[in-house]
Amino acid sequence: MNHLQRDIQRCPRVAVYGTLKRGYRNHYWLEGAALLGQDRLSTITLYDLGPYPGAKKEASHGAVIEVYAITPEQLALLDQLEDYIAHAPHTGVYDRAIFPTQHGQAWCYLYNADVEGAVRIDSGEW
């Protein structure tokens, strides 16, 4: 294992499913992050919230995610973007939890509010 691979192994990982994915408006927040690959998480369900999707911890046919190795500083910035409040995680727009992926354990942001009336994205791809 070379130096770069060792560094990536120690980095936090984030699983993204919406506007942070390649080609979407917030992807620039992941500039410099290493894309490790795609996966499908059958432990979350995506909902269309209009300008962005929200994920709930519910069984599904699989939500399509991209997994990135990021820095702790990038994770802190993503927490700000997603309105994640570490000392009161259920009060922000999103909470986060770790999920197993093909590319290692990764943080994934989960939508805190009720999704009643939102369209469930059964394809898993927003």
CB 101 within 8 A of CB 41: yes
The single residue of 31, 58, 73, 82 carrying the catalytic annotation is: 82
The 10 Å Cβ neighbour count of residue 57 is: 14
Could you give phi then psi for residue 120, rounded to 5 degrees? -70, 135
| Separation of alpha carbons 80 and 124, rounded Å | 25
Task: Decide if 82 is catalytic.
Answer: yes
- By annotation, the residues acting in catalysis are 82
